[in-house]
Each structure stands twice: as C-alpha cells, then as structure tokens.
Amino acid sequence: MSEINWQPDYESAVQESQTVNKPILLELFMEGCGHCARLHKETLVDGQVVAAVNAAFVPVRIEGRGRMDLVKKFDVKGAPTTLILSPQEQEKHRFVGFFGPADYLQELGKSA
C-alpha cells in the first residue's frame, strides 16, 4: 500500500514546496481527536487520495498543540483543519473536519 509522502516538519515542507513549485497541503490535527483519527485511517490511506496528494502537493501533517505558532498564524479554530498553501505560504483553500475520500478529492480540486 502506498502512503502519502509527509514531510518531517513544516519548515521542510515550505522549502520543498518552493524548490518543486507545488502547493503545501498542511493538515493540523490533535491527538485524541476522533475526526482527526478517522481522517488519517480512512481518507488519507485511500489510493486515489494518496496519488492525488503526492502528485500535486507537498504534504505535511502536524499536531497543532505542538505548533501553536502555526495554529495562530493560520487562525485555526478546529481539528482537523486542512490548509492548501502556496509556496509563499498564502492560503488558497481550507477545509475543516472529516471528509471521506470522494469529498476530500473534491476539496483538493477547489484550490486550483
């Protein structure tokens, strides 16, 4: 089974995004959040979602409480929050909560 090529941290994702000129897919989640766990176990392992994310984005998944600077910077109010950012860290699209694979793919398409 293929997996999403998550970057190790936000700074690496920004650097990679600027190098390859692809948008950043930033998922801010919280440990113990049911919707976050479900998104990770059901949607982010779906073959079509994995292929779409790896092809079009530089993905990074971050526990929000460990990076309150990012939570504040992007005015995140709930978890999970998925942000699509330009290589210059400008927000292009945001979606909050659990999305099944088909709906998640539809949300990814809204950032184009």
Residue 52 and residue 5: Cα distance in Å, rounded?
11
Q: What mean pLDDT is predicted for residues 51-63?
A: 97
> Omega before 8 cis (within 30°)?
no
User: Is residue 103, in this structure, part of any structural domain at all?
Assistant: yes
By the 8 A CB rule, do 23 and 7 touch? no
Q: Where residue 27 sits, what CATH number does that domain have? A: 3.40.30.10
User: Is residue 3, in this structure, part of any structural domain at all?
Assistant: no
**20: left (phi > 0), else alpha (psi -120 to 50), else beta?**
alpha
User: Is residue 2, in this structure, part of any structural domain at all?
Assistant: no
User: Is residue 5, in this structure, part of any structural domain at all?
Assistant: no
Q: What is the pLDDT of residues 60-89, one digit of tens each?
A: 999 999 999 999 999 999 999 999 999 999
Range of the domain at 91: 10-109
Q: What mean pLDDT is predicted for residues 41-68?
A: 96
User: Is residue 43, in this structure, part of any structural domain at all?
Assistant: yes
User: Is residue 22, in this structure, part of any structural domain at all?
Assistant: yes
Model confidence at 1, in pLDDT bands (50, 70, 90)?
Answer: very low
User: Is residue 98, in this structure, part of any structural domain at all?
Assistant: yes
Structural domain count, the chain: 1
Structure tokens at 9: 């941290």
pLDDT at position 29, please? Answer: 97
Q: Give the pairing type, strands 58-63 and 24-29.
A: parallel
